[in-house]
Chain A
């Protein structure tokens, strides 16, 4: 049997907390982080709500003890903050004492600073240090430098499935023996660019997002970063790590239907779930909880809902979307929800799908709306993105 890929550390910063523990407590108490947009000026401030991290950029810089001439964008700062917690949580003292890689993901990259200084670059030399920070890879570079990692470093950007894909590539590199351990995840800061982009697509709600509800009106954007430390089982054991769970299956498929919309029967999502279950060697009735993508856009929830009904037929496990807590954190979402999936396994709990009132006419399945304590051995986590990108990762108890 092939060596298992295990999770030995995790770190997160989101609208509901700056640590894993704070996130867990907010999920238990049902406290949402979605609220007013105060991070930057926008004409949409009155009409939309977002999931902001409760730290200013200045606070993040101070807490990470960066020099004043740094050119970290907010995306890089959030990433470094969460990666630091993941490494500490795993108990890694020297990042380079094993062959370690970093696979981060982002959709917005340094756009939050580019949009701030775009018209200043011409006249203000001091702002030019951010010109190079726009590229998505720059945020990963900054995180690697911050944690002192030398070696395999790359970045994935497949829109809202990015971080799930980072988990997959990380697991692949470990299985191939290219690395001993790998830090995988994603980071995305809120930006005016994404707020306006999603606004033109008319998929932002003016209220609080209500996944899988008949009257859902769209998503709330959020910002966050989360990272997992993945290791080969034998190395994790040899290093005396606490093992939080196993990456038991994963798959990526393309819906090949439309650049931004999902197909009506969720073919891509269906294929991703089916292939991931096959890799995990699990039948669908062995899944205890599905952490759905559940963005609360009319299109996603219908497509994903239908795909889940096709996969699980009449034995739908408990499922919920945790986006009412954090907002949709785009490229980071797959990593945020990986942390939540592992918390579900660790504590034996299913987090409720907040804000759900009316079942969807097209679906026979209903999300879990109250907190449930029960043994959770296997969680299936979905992440879907523009470009038809559909990803599923399955986490199991060690």
Chain B
């Protein structure tokens, strides 16, 4: 069965939930970049909003946006990915525990620290009793969710699924990662330092082609480590009887730092007919940032227009390739529908 992306929504460092054109976006700054928070008050009662984790709010907003566009009230499944979950609450509980010698603790931040809080809260809000999974595998957290949903819709087990990636900046953790020279500071750029972001990107996968459909999700794959980029891409495309030169647009998760290694340039070399598009200069790096790249890819296919230049282009296939520092490689193939 064919699987389509029929709704998109995001909360990111940018304004707006979708329909991004690079010319209208602001590049992230050196260091840490908070997501632009939309107004939640129409969506979430004020009493709940106060206690709700940032990741949950962003997830509810982005998923609402995607579901609304796909014209679905309650999805058959909610499948999320997150690198570190609701990190702010994890830090809050941890600090309180360490500072007060395990005394005077309250459960709220502990509860929200559980990795599947966003997925659970979305189900609770929607009263969705279907399948509910959360993947927490670093830079392939989102792609794991995508693959799970894709297989179930392909197999006819689900008609549709809400999938998403969400991560939030936790001040202390990010500060430690700056000490470890993995995230840049406002003063210093490290060899392997990235500019960090946060956000939530949700999508509706469905077995129907509709007027809203952005793209067909043909296939996706993840691998913890690979021996050769050309072989990885060729083998993946061969499953669909395609070759790299049939890819018109290659979206890569480049940070333009040493973490890129030669992976993306090797991908670019083998996909020799591709225009190369990047997105992390607008989303920042985070464990589920690749979902933002996939969102851009969906829009490029639907509007047949390049994200970077706004130029019209006839696009049949887009390949999205992400990895981080040689680990957690993922490929997603989208087709025009």
Contact residues of A with B, CB < 8 Å? 42-44, 106-107, 109, 111, 114-115, 118-119, 121-122, 128, 131-132, 134-138, 140-141, 144, 149-159, 165, 169, 172-173, 175-176, 178, 192-193, 196-197, 199-201, 252-260, 267-268, 271, 385-389
Q: Provide the residues of chain B in CB contact with A157, threshold 8 Å.
A: 85, 114-116, 134-136
Alpha-carbon gap, A135 to B324, bound state (A): 15
Chain B interface helix/strand/loop/mixed: mixed
- Indicate if the CB atoms of B120 and A388 lie closer than 8 Å: yes
The answer, yes or no, to whether B302 is at the interface (CB within 8 Å) is no
Given the interface pairs A114-B94, A172-B151, A260-B111, the reply to whether A155 lies near B120 with Cβ below 8 Å is no
Is B138 a contact partner of A138 (Cβ separation < 8 A)? yes
Which residues does chain A contribute within 8 Å of B98, judged by CB atoms? 115, 118-119
- The reply on B246 being an interface residue by CB < 8 A is no
How many residue pairs, one in A and one in B, have C-beta atoms under 8 Å apart?
199
B224, A151: Cβ atoms under 8 Å? Answer: yes
B93 touching A197, Cβ below 8 Å: yes
Stretch at the interface among B1-9, B100-108, B311-319: B100-108
Beyond A157-B134, A193-B94, A259-B111, 11 additional pairs, beta carbon < 8 A: A43-B103, A107-B115, A115-B97, A119-B98, A135-B84, A152-B222, A158-B133, A172-B152, A267-B129, A385-B116, A387-B116
When the two chains form the complex, which single residue of B137, B173, B179 contacts A134, counting CB atoms closer than 8 Å? B173
Given A141-B327, A271-B129, check contact A44 B102 (CB 8 Å).
yes
Residue of B nearest to A149 (CB): B224
What is the bound-complex CA distance between A134 and B177, given in angstroms? 11
Instruction: List B residues 87-144 near A (Cβ within 8 Å).
Output: 90, 93-95, 97-98, 101-103, 105-107, 110-111, 113-117, 119-121, 123-124, 126-138, 140-141, 144
B interface size (C-beta, 8 A): 66
The yes or no answer to B59 lying at the interface (CB within 8 A) is: no
Residues of B near A118 (CB, < 8 A) are 94-95, 98, 172
B273 touches A (CB below 8 Å): no
Q: Is the interface of A mostly helix, strand, loop or mixed?
A: mixed
Q: Does B223 contact A (CB under 8 A)?
A: yes
Residue of A nearest to B103 (CB): A43
Partner of B223, one of A107, A136, A152, A389: A152
- Residue pairs across A and B with Cβ atoms less than 8 A apart, 5 shown, are A106-B136, A157-B136, A176-B155, A201-B107, A387-B134
Please state if B141 and A259 are interface contacts (CB–CB under 8 Å): no
Contacts of A388 in B (CB 8 A): 120, 123-124, 132
Which among B102, B103, B111, B137 has the highest number of chain A CB atoms within 10 Å?
B137
Q: Are B120 and A386 within 8 A (Cβ)?
A: yes
Contacting residues, chain A, for B327 (C-beta < 8 A): 141
- Is A193 a contact of B97 with CB atoms below 8 Å? yes
Taking a contact as CB atoms under 8 Å apart, the answer to whether A154 and B137 are in contact is yes
Q: How far is the CA of A114 from the CA of B152 in the complex (A)?
A: 36
Please determine whether A386 and B180 come into contact, CB atoms closer than 8 angstroms.
no
**Interchain CB contact under 8 A, A137 and B138:** yes
Chain A contacts for B95, CB-based, 8 A: 118
The minimal Cβ–Cβ distance linking A306 to chain B, given in whole angstroms, is 16
B102 touches A196 (CB 8 A): yes
**Are B138 and A141 in contact, with the CB atoms below 8 A?**
yes
Select which of B83, B131, B225 is within 8 A of A137 by beta carbon.
Answer: B83
Cβ of A136: which chain B residues have Cβ within 8 Å of it?
Answer: 85, 115, 136-137
Given contacts A121-B176, A135-B84, A197-B113, contact A150 B138 (CB under 8 A): no
Please provide the chain B residues from 291 to 326 with a CB less than 8 Å away from any CB of chain A in the complex: none
* Distance between A208 CB and nearest chain B CB, rounded to angstroms: 22
Inter-subunit contact A389/B132 (CB<8 Å): yes
Interface centre among A107, A122, A197 (most CB of B within 10 A): A197
Point out the residue from B124, B130, B137, B154 that lies within 8 Å of A253, measured CB to CB: B130
